[in-house]
Amino acid sequence: MKFISTRGNDTATGAEAIVRGIASDGGLFVPEYFPQVTAEELAQMLPMSYAERAATILHKYLGEYDFEGLKAACEKAYAQFEGGDAAPLVKIDSSLYMLELFHGPTCAFKDLALTLLPYLLRKGCDIAGIEKDVLILVATSGDTGKAALEGFKDAPGVKIMVFYPNDGVSKMQKLQMATQEGNNVAVVAVKSNFDDCQSAVKAIFTSEACKEELFEKGYLLSSANSINFGRLAPQIAYYFSAYLDLVSSGQIEAGEKVNFAVPTGNFGNILAAYYAKRMGLPVGKLVCASNKNNILTDFMRTGVYDRRREFYKTMSPSMDILISSNLERLLFELSDRNPVRIKLRMDKLKEDGVYEIYDEERAALSELFYADFCGEDETVETIYEFFEEYQYPMDTHTACAMYAAANYTEKTKDKDTPMVVVSTASPYKFPQDVMYALTGNDIKDSFKAIKHLNLTTAMKPPKSLAKLRDKPVRFHTVADKDKLYAEVVRFADEK
């Protein structure tokens, strides 16, 4: 399968798209068509392990990769997850389920893709005949950075550098990154927000001068953000797997529709659900949940994307985003794959901070998605009330999705269609906020909060987070947003 740019001036194979990360014209790579999964193929996937299901879905897009190699890589990646199941589905009540995506090495959903991406990237280089070392640049709002660092640490022929907003991640997320092990990793805190981090990294990727200088130093640039199709593709698999688990457990009949509620920031996670729907998975409504930075809710309700608004730092920091990069891929589909229209809108967003879609695109958007947002008070109330009723603790991001899912069910009176809420992080990644929601206690120390959360909920803390207390802090660099390329060059020059 070939991949094309959303802005019309680049094509690549699957391997090339993964290695390069972003198209040369600044657009995002998308598949030239959506491969279909038939009802017969779904039935064949029912008895498969999660790793087998993931390899099956991936191979639909990445035909040049050997299937047995993909399967072995998936098995190796997902063997790292606690509990023996990479994406368990937990039944809450008769029509409500939690898709738990936080059992990986860094306790967030990014692990489902970033434990696998090192294989996809290295194998992609081999397939594409690329012998250069790879320099990966990552902008993170909290979870991607740690998951990418952990996935690529000490990987041969790869260096990885992560940028995060200095005051825009949780204490636990910052500690996870600052203590990262590995001889090929670097972490830089940025005196700004995530959008500026992401824009700076994109500017490096689209600068011929930057790419040429780094190429002369022996490096090919790539990305581990969800702008890279290699990050997006593995996420499609867990929507299929959740559906198959519902069928195999007798909760639904094959062919019945299922709704998914997804906490949304950069739009990659919920876009993967949309891709699954386009591949033939019986998906009903996609509930797009935002936090107080409710730019996506406003966009889906009005058809106007306007980032000229106040930016809020919230207790769900991975969603503190005003430029949702993966929305470009969805707009490409809604516009009947019109690259001229996409480029005009992305240019307008960059220059004016706003663009508007056509009425027919807005109508298609409303048919596919229900959008809602959850403020800070509602996040606290949702965590508290849900635990009171079900004894199930959730993190702040998942709470936004649960709030939106409940509002959707109440508004539509649709209590029969199963609702799967995508739980994107362990509550232990945000222990102080979760403890505040459950008890009203404001605990300053993250590790004390972990202890109290364990006593309050009886939920077992992840081993990887408990170990952080004793790990030395390795990275202390703080940089201005316009000095990030200098940090990249310094890192590239290190031996």
> Which residues form the catalytic set?
110
Q: Which of 147, 117, 146 is nearest to 134 (CA)?
A: 117
d(CA 158, CA 135) in angstroms, rounded, equals 6
Q: How far apart are CA 187 and CA 126, in angstroms?
A: 27
DSSP character for 439? H
- Find the length of the chain: 495
Neighbours of 69 (CB within 10 A): 13
| All residues at 6 or more sequence positions from 14 whose CB lies less than 8 Å from its CB, including other chains | 1, 3, 61, 62, 63, 64, 65, 124, 229
Contact indicator for 244, 237 with CB cutoff of 8 Å: no
> CA 265, CA 316: separation in Å to the nearest integer?
10
Angle, vertex CA 86, rays to CA 50 and CA 314, nearest 5: 135
Decide: helix, strand or coil at residue 306. strand
Asked if residue 323 lies in contact with residue 198, where contact means CB atoms within 8 angstroms, the answer is yes
Tell me which H or E stretch contains 163. Answer: strand 158-165
Q: How far is CA 363 from CA 189, 276, 285, 334, 335, in A?
A: 41, 20, 14, 10, 12
- Beta strands at 419-423 and 478-479: parallel, antiparallel or unpaired: unpaired
Nearest to 475 by CA among 62, 94, 166: 166
CA atoms within 13 A on the CB side of 359: 0
Residue with tokens 């867990």: 238
∠ CA 215-219-223 to the nearest 5 degrees? 110
Q: In angstroms, rounded to a whole number, what is the distance separating the alpha carbons of residues 123 and 76?
A: 15
Largest CA distance in the chain: 61
Report in angstroms the alpha-carbon separations of 147 from 116, 184, 224.
11, 15, 9
Say if residues 365 and 267 touch (Cβ distance below 8 Å).
no
The angle subtended at Cα 155 by Cα 153 and Cα 159, nearest 5°, is: 75
Q: Which residues contact 138 (CB under 8 A, 6 or more apart)?
A: 144, 145, 148, 160, 161, 162, 163, 201, 223, 224, 225
